[in-house]
Structure 1
């Protein structure tokens, strides 16, 4: 496979995010990369795909900047681009949360390598905490992990009180690639939790380095693959078909665009309901044609990344 997917983040101060965004966008265009990149005053967060040689040059260019010396890339081989567009955007945070005051580059939970995480996760004095959203952990999570019933990471601070009973234990947080854990673990320290750790590199790195052992189901990812296998040791399926309840990790978007629910739907129910999550949605007059995948990426035939660069307008600064 001559393509790669790169998943990465780095919390580091950027004095001029707008200028960095334009420079970084040009780099991605030159290397024919596609994906989603977020730039903020607090750092950089992205997932991109491209040919192997282009990805290698991109990694060299990013690491050559002293501000990103600590950045680590999670690299996975793929058959083709996993994105249809390139978006490089400036936002207030590199991961949307309600923790604007938290500065992970100054203080955060102790990083655990995948090997260290594996050695600790089953101990009696440890609790493993999934800081991701419900649609992510419903398709895959570590055995016995505590989930917090959140629809969006910005809800995390309101759920921390549910962990009070574990204050005397070691808290091991994890997420897809590590970026959410940086803020989650820092906030837990702020709230008085003393022994807070995070899986460095997240589920993806754990899968690459430790075979994904004891991660049940699949890992939700934010590209066209939707969910990927990470467990090569003792894999299992934990999600159920939204319609019939049989085990299924086949994620779709409901064919009714007004619903667009992101759920697991087995192939049989997918055919029966023509890609809809229910008979009501199946009968909706605006239902989209079902091609067997249940995925409806936005068409990008007229997308021009160069024009996107030229038409970019920096967000208005607060007065």
Structure 2
């Protein structure tokens, strides 16, 4: 049986967003979907997975709401659902910007010029262009565009702290990209706010680029936020860009540390995975809560234990 996994976002104001999140969770469950959706006053950000029929019904439901009629879905065929449970939660932002004053950026009012994948591909090698990866370390360590500038950040909320270091590129054409496009909406808006004049963003992100432009010059794999962990993008000139944290061997495999108190995201070859039981270090192999390693390195989230005083 074939299933679909849908990746999408939409910046569109939602009144009573917290109640919307609760109602939307019930609706998703009624369709038998699994996934993770963030709802905020500013819009929706989600990845859901289920049968082709359920996913079609979900897309029709979203598009029928005039607030979300412009939503673009990236659709992948998968052999099994990409999540185990269905979560739909209310948060302050659909992408945490790290800004105290979030009003200075509004993707509905100002954002970088959207480039379709083929347009992005054509601009990649121009001399006056820099390509900026706005994702976190564990994402670009797995794969990135050739010659892209990457940032030493653990989360997107750290992006604003990088603006000063990026100021040297203010006179260049700045091409931003991320997984599905959502982070670029805020990243490009923030760059414009700080005086960058010629800012672009890859419409639909790496996922759409792989589907429509063959993924040319994307080195490695693309990290995704579901139990697939990584997906292939480049069908033109594919390479493996990531290395095992433990031994340095080239490997495309990314896992979570089997120690739930650590849970580090890292790349690890199969040999080190067997030797360290899916842990990032020898120390983690001795942790009393270490999870059994089944070779995938994907685990259902385990809440950290709170010490009783």
TM-score, normalised to structure 1, is 0.90
Which residue number in structure 1 is paired with residue 185 of structure 2? Answer: 182
Specify whether residues 59 and 281 from structure 1 end up closer, same or farther in structure 2 by C-alpha distance, changes over 3 A only: same
Q: Tell me, what secondary structure is at the counterpart of 1:182?
A: helix
Specify whether residues 69 and 245 from structure 1 end up closer, same or farther in structure 2 by C-alpha distance, changes over 3 A only: same
Shift of 1:228: 0.8
Query: Is 1:289 paired with 2:292?
Result: yes
Query: Is 1:46 paired with 2:49?
Result: no
Which residue number in structure 2 is paired with residue 317 of structure 1? Answer: none
Q: Tell whether the 8 Å contact from 2:251 to 2:267 is kept in structure 1 after alignment.
A: yes
Query: Is 1:276 paired with 2:276?
Result: no
Q: Tell me, what secondary structure is at the counterpart of 2:244?
A: coil
Shift of 1:260: 2.1
In structure 2, what is the Cα distance between the partners aligned to 1:89 and 1:290? 29
Shift of 1:163: 1.5
In structure 2, what is the Cα distance between the partners aligned to 1:49 and 1:247? 31
**Structure 1 residue runs of 4 or more that deviate by more than 4 Å after TM superposition:** none
TM-score, normalised to structure 2, is 0.93
In structure 2, what is the Cα distance between the partners aligned to 1:254 and 1:292? 11
In structure 2, what is the Cα distance between the partners aligned to 1:258 and 1:106? 41
Say which is worse superposed, 198-207 or 163-172, in terms of deviation. 163-172
Question: What are the ranges of 5 or more consecutive residues in structure 1 without an aligned counterpart?
Answer: 300-319
Q: Tell me, what secondary structure is at the counterpart of 1:163?
A: helix
In structure 2, what is the Cα distance between the partners aligned to 1:260 and 1:87? 20
Q: Tell me, what secondary structure is at the counterpart of 1:36?
A: strand
Query: Is 1:123 paired with 2:126?
Result: yes
Question: What are the ranges of 5 or more consecutive residues in structure 2 without an aligned counterpart?
Answer: 303-309
**Alignment partner of 1:196 out of 199, 209, 213:** 199
In structure 1, what is the Cα distance between the partners aligned to 2:210 and 2:24? 29
Say which is worse superposed, 97-106 or 78-87, in terms of deviation. 97-106
In structure 2, what is the Cα distance between the partners aligned to 1:11 and 1:270? 40
Shift of 1:105: 0.8
Which residue number in structure 2 is paired with residue 147 of structure 1? Answer: 150
Shift of 1:69: 2.0
Which residue number in structure 2 is paired with residue 74 of structure 1? Answer: 74
Shift of 1:95: 0.8
Shift of 1:30: 1.9
Say which is worse superposed, 98-107 or 289-298, in terms of deviation. 289-298
Q: Tell me, what secondary structure is at the counterpart of 2:45?
A: strand
Q: For 1:1-319, what aligned pairs fall within 5 Å after superposition? A: 2-99=2-99, 100-101=102-103, 102-298=105-301
